[in-house]
């Protein structure tokens, strides 16, 4: 196969053996460069749009993950109800002298005998719950009380938190 030699004429028609004719250099050089530049712009724009869409999709997925974690860690409606219940005054047994701090009562319970330990743990738990509203520390004292008590004593009035722990334990 031989290659045709370039024709010095800008618009030439060459007969290809077969059925059709080919027009050589039909378009001027400036038009070719204009089409090339336009094509490159379109391809560049498409590439930028594709990358931007991937970046936007990634950002949306990140935001969705962050939002779902935020929703999972938000307090449930029942938690607000527990806080409202914690503001209810405890029974009269829970009135602790102002001079006793709950931390001191808890430390005294560690050093005391079993019978007195139970009473001190109850008083410390009530003080944490009523005076400070510290449910976590009150839970700690009440759990230690229930762990050290051999049989449930129902003759005394109990706070709502101790009653809930006792029923959960059963």
Q: Which of 86, 133, 143, 156 is nearest to 109 (CA)?
A: 143
Lowest mean pLDDT among 32-36, 132-136, 148-152, 159-163: 148-152
Enumerate the β-bridge partners of residue 15: 21
Pairing of strands 21-24, 12-15: antiparallel
Q: At what angle do helices 160-169 and 135-148 cross, to 10 degrees?
A: 50
Residue 120 to residue 145: CA distance in whole angstroms? 9
- Measured N-to-C along each axis, helices 102-111 and 135-148 cross at an angle, to the nearest 10 degrees, of 20
Which whole-number Å values give the CA distances from 103 to 129, 130, 157, in the listed order?
13, 14, 22
Kind and range of the H or E run holding 51: helix 29-73
Spell out the residues 6+ positions from residue 12 whose beta carbon is closer than 8 angstroms to its own.
23, 24, 25
The string of pLDDT tens digits covering residues 13-43 is: 555 566 555 555 567 778 988 999 999 999 9
pLDDT tens-digit readout, 89-130: 544 444 434 457 888 888 888 888 777 888 888 888 888 888
- Rounded CA separation 28/166 (Å): 95
Q: Which residue has the higher pLDDT, 41 or 142?
A: 41
Eight-state DSSP code of residue 75:
P
Structure confidence at residue 14 (pLDDT): 55
């Amino acid at each position: 196969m031989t290659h045709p030699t370039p024709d010095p004429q800008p618009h030439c028609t060459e007969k290809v053996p077969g059925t059709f004719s080919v027009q050589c250099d039909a378009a001027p050089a400036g038009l070719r460069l204009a089409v090339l530049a336009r094509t490159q712009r379109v391809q560049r724009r498409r590439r930028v749009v594709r990358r931007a869409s991937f970046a936007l999709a990634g950002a949306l997925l990140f935001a969705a993950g962050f939002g779902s974690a935020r929703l999972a860690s938000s307090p449930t409606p029942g938690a607000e109800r527990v806080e409202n219940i914690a503001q209810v005054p405890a029974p009269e047994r829970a009135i602790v002298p102002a001079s006793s701090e709950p931390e001191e009562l808890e430390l005294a319970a560690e050093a005391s005998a079993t019978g007195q330990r139970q009473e001190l743990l109850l008083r410390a738990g009530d003080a944490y719950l009523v005076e400070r509203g510290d449910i976590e520390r009150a839970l700690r004292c009440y759990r230690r009380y229930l762990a050290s008590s051999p049989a449930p004593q129902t003759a005394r009035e109990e706070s709502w938190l101790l009653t809930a722990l006792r029923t959960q334990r059963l």
